[in-house]
């Protein structure tokens, strides 16, 4: 895994700063202990996207779609099942991941993808 964004997600998971799965993320977003950032896989189901994005918007939690499949997210964090979304609970990791996402977006635009 050479991608910097996926590597950052793996580090956050190892540090215990990542909540994995739509049900757990949705519960966390609605709780008093809000995550700093929620990320959705590119191929997450329309229903999952709707539920998570709505909850994040309602509770003021930043939510972004990453340019990776559920399979790629799963592999990055070492899960043996498909992951549709994750929540980052640490501000430092959330900042690093956001920064790397912005770099990925610039790279994709410059390549004309």
List pLDDT tens digits, range 70-93. Answer: 999 999 999 989 999 999 999 999
- pTM, two decimals, is 0.87
Q: Binning pLDDT at 50, 70 and 90, where does residue 95 land?
A: very high
For residue 109, pLDDT over 80 is answered with no
pLDDT value, residue 100: 87
Residue 61 vs residues 3, 4, 72, 112: alpha-carbon distances, Å: 25, 23, 23, 30
Domains located in the chain, CATH noted: 4-111 (3.30.1330.30)
Q: Is 60 left (phi over 0), alpha (psi -120 to 50) or beta?
A: left
């Amino acid at each position: 895994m050479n991608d910097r964004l996926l590597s950052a997600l793996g580090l956050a998971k190892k540090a215990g700063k990542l909540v994995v799965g739509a049900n757990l993320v949705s519960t966390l977003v609605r709780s008093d202990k809000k995550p700093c950032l929620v990320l959705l896989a590119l191929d997450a189901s329309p229903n999952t996207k709707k539920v998570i994005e709505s909850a994040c918007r309602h509770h003021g939690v930043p939510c972004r779609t990453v340019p990776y499949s559920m399979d790629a997210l799963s592999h990055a964090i070492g899960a043996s099942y498909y992951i549709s979304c994750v929540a980052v609970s640490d501000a430092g990791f959330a900042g690093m991941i956001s920064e790397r996402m912005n770099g990925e977006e610039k790279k994709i635009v410059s390549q004309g993808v």
